[in-house]
Amino acid sequence: MSNPDNSSPKLVFSLIIGIPLLVIALSTLVYQMANRDMLALGTVNNGTLIQPPLAISELQPVHRNGEAVQFNQMDSQWQFVVVGDGYCESTCEAMLYLTRQTHTALGKKMGRVSRMYLNTSTEFSAGLDKLLIDEHEKLTSAFIDGDAYRNSKLPLADEAPGFYVVDPKGWVMMFYQLPDLEQDTLTSTGKLVIKDMKRLLR
């Protein structure tokens, strides 16, 4: 028969050793699951949420043929939306590049996301048309009311180094704004966008 006085110290010793090891093992498991997007720890986004979100229909978007841009349809998708003028120079062009590269990097999920350019002017310059045809053929281009955009509560100015994420129902949910246009910044921002989108596209 075992002596209770002898087993008690052994139990205490086992607990002293075992509990920290169990905590470490569980912490490692939670970290790995969160790192692989298998576990959501709160609502942490790399982009900035727009509170409250804005219905993009308030900006009166219309296709270049004059038809209204429709959202909240059966085939509506998430959108990366760049806002600029009829020329889309330097900063604006960099945002088109960033959204294109990020869209491609979504891999199997890219079919659930599309891209759109919203022009606050009344026409597209020949240079912008050529850019869109040569480098962004799958992007949808449309017009919005420039005054409505500038009077809205959306944070990005025309030609700002950033872009929006719009959900399939047409709500402008989030934006990304870059501090500069260095390649490292574009690359790191793209990775953050991908992480957010993979969470949204589950």
CB 116 within 8 A of CB 142: yes
CB 60 within 8 A of CB 146: no
Q: What CATH superfamily is the domain 48-200? A: Glutaredoxin (3.40.30.10)
The reported pLDDT for the residue numbered 22 is 60
- pLDDT band at residue 160 using 50, 70 and 90 as cut-offs: confident
Using the predicted structure, report yes or no on whether residue 30 has a pLDDT greater than 50: no
- Distance (Å, rounded) from C-alpha 59 to C-alpha 72? 15
Using the predicted structure, report yes or no on whether residue 128 has a pLDDT greater than 90: yes
Contacts of 201 (CB under 8 A, 6+ apart): 78, 106, 109, 112, 113
Contacts of 88 (CB under 8 A, 6+ apart): 82, 96, 117, 119, 128, 131, 159
- Distance (Å, rounded) from C-alpha 132 to C-alpha 138? 9
Contacts of 57 (CB under 8 A, 6+ apart): 71, 170
Give the tens place of pLDDT for each residue, 44-76. Answer: 789 999 999 999 999 999 999 999 999 989 899
The reported pLDDT for the residue numbered 29 is 52
Using the predicted structure, report yes or no on whether residue 187 has a pLDDT greater than 90: yes
pTM over 0.85: no
Tell me the sheet residues that pair with 41: none
H/E segment holding residue 48:
strand 48-55
Mean pLDDT (the chain, rounded): 86
Residue from 188, 191, 165, 187 nearest 176 by CA: 165
